[in-house]
């Protein structure tokens, strides 16, 4: 049996993330057009990649209907101008859709079936709210396989607060405020803009151009957060301020074997070390990244102390805090989400996994003293996903910020 092939993250891009709904900047933009524009932008950035050498296109969406249906990977490939010889498929693992697209392509490369693939995701939550049109099997509730609250992500976050009293609303609010501040600082320093693909928008006011995320709230204060409603239960702790919003957006990445990247002169921004997915009780789905991270660390032969940078999806502040507490990491640890996260940027469900990777890849360039990084996220219905990456710029010495 041959040794597994080394898998690398070549490049990744995303659209700006918009607010979902009629007032959002992408209300009149099709979901498939968002991911097609991301793919076109990605290919334009990597002109040395022969399009006919792309072996697979995997595009995720949580609600696969309408303009998010019809086997997105294949339709997006055709719309993006790839040769008809390039196949594609669609993936659904709710919030971890794009992450699963990456790991599925990576598995094919490691096995030797692929050399290069495109992996990404899209979610237009304005057109397709989470769970819209789904018909959960009545046995879920009738046979008590899950609580009714397991089908509402906000309720699962409240349950994490219940289970871990040390995870207070004040901590969640403070974490959320810091996320907003860090993202605003990252924008001011020009950290996020290089990987954003501008998108033409259309509305009643005419044509526009989306160049930055729409839901940013850098003016957020603890006082403002304290006064927000708790929509999931009276006197609860989960609010719109300490959660990600409802968003529209898309991501795309090139995943390749190290040999193929070298053959075509493609950059190597990260090397994949290991990945893992894990299941937990659906009622407290937010703790999913804890066992998936433990699993990924075990497969890599590493410990949490080896991880020098963390990109954790902020579906809810309490969900990130539960992982930090488990591993003994401080709420303000500078290794965690240095440029903020989904609370500020947004979380268009199936697209977010690649956003985490895009940001980690950029941070690796700035931190040659860091060897390993983690991208991790919770997943609806009680799952977690984690991918460990190695920094190809690692020297062991601190670089310039």
Name the residues annotated as catalytic.
95, 347, 378
Distance in angstroms (rounded) separating the CA atoms of residues 132 and 12? 29
Assign 383 to helix, strand or coil: strand
Is-contact 386 293, C-beta < 8 A? yes
Q: What is the largest CA-CA distance in the chain?
A: 61
Tell me, rounded to whole angstroms, the distance of Cα 395 from its chain centroid: 28
Count of alpha carbons within 13 Å of 372, Cβ hemisphere only? 18
Taking the C-alpha atoms of residue 233 and residue 133, their distance in angstroms, rounded to an integer, is 25
Residues with Cβ < 8 Å from 320, sequence gap 6 or more? 175, 312, 314, 336, 337, 341
How far apart (Å, rounded) are the C-alpha atoms in residues 278 and 295? 8
Residue 14 falls in which region: left (phi positive, over 0), alpha (psi -120 to 50) or beta:
beta
DSSP state of 25: T
141: left (phi over 0), alpha (psi -120 to 50) or beta: alpha
- Residues 228 and 350: their CA atoms lie apart, in Å, by 27
Whether the CB-CB separation of 234 and 157 falls below 8 Å is answered with: no
Tokens of 67: 């303009």
* DSSP state for residue 283 in the 8-state scheme: G
3-state secondary structure 170-228: HHHHHHHHHHHHHHHHHHHCCCCHHHECCEEEEECCEEEEECCCCCCCCCCCHHHHHCC
And the tokens for 306?
């080896």
Residues in contact with 260: Cβ distance below 8 Å, sequence separation at least 6, in sequence order:
53, 115, 116, 266
């Amino acid at each position: 049996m041959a040794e597994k092939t080394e898998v690398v993250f070549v490049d990744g891009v995303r659209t700006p993330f918009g607010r979902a709904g009629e007032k959002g900047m992408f209300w009149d933009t099709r979901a498939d057009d968002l991911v097609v524009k991301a793919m076109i932008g990605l290919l334009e950035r990597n002109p040395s990649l022969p399009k006919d050498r792309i072996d697979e296109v995997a595009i995720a969406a949580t609600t696969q209907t309408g303009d998010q249906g019809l086997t997105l990977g294949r339709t997006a490939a055709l719309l993006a101008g790839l040769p008809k010889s390039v196949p594609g498929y669609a993936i659904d693992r709710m919030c971890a859709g794009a992450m699963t697209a990456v790991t599925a392509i990576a598995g094919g490369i490691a096995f030797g079936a692929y050399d290069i693939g495109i992996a990404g995701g899209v979610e237009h939550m304005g057109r397709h709210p989470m769970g819209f049109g789904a018909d959960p099997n009545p046995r879920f509730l009738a046979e008590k396989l899950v609580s009714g609250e397991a089908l509402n992500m906000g309720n699962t976050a409240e349950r994490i607060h219940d289970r871990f009293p040390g995870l207070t609303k004040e901590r969640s609010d403070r974490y959320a405020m810091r996320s907003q501040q860090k993202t605003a600082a990252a924008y001011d320093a020009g950290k996020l803009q290089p990987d954003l693909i501008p998108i033409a928008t259309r509305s009643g006011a005419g044509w526009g151009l989306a160049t930055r995320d729409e839901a940013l709230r850098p003016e957020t204060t603890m006082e403002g957060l304290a006064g927000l409603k708790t929509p999931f239960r009276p006197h609860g702790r989960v609010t719109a301020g300490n959660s990600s919003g409802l968003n529209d957006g898309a991501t795309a990445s090139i995943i390749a074997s190290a040999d193929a990247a070298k053959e075509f002169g493609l950059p190597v921004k990260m090397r994949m070390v290991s990945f893992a997915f894990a299941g937990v009780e659906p009622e407290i789905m937010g703790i999913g990244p804890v066992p998936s991270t433990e699993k990924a660390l075990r497969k890599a032969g590493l410990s949490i102390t080896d991880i020098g940078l963390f990109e954790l999806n902020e579906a809810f502040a309490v969900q990130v805090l539960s992982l930090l507490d488990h591993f003994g990491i401080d709420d303000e640890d500078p290794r965690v989400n240095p440029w903020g996260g989904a609370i500020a940027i947004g979380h268009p469900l199936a697209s977010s996994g690649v956003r985490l990777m895009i940001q980690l890849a950029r941070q690796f360039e700035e931190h040659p003293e860091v060897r390993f990084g983690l991208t991790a996220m919770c997943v609806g219905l009680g799952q977690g996903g984690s991918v460990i990456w190695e920094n190809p710029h690692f020297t062991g010495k601190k670089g310039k910020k």
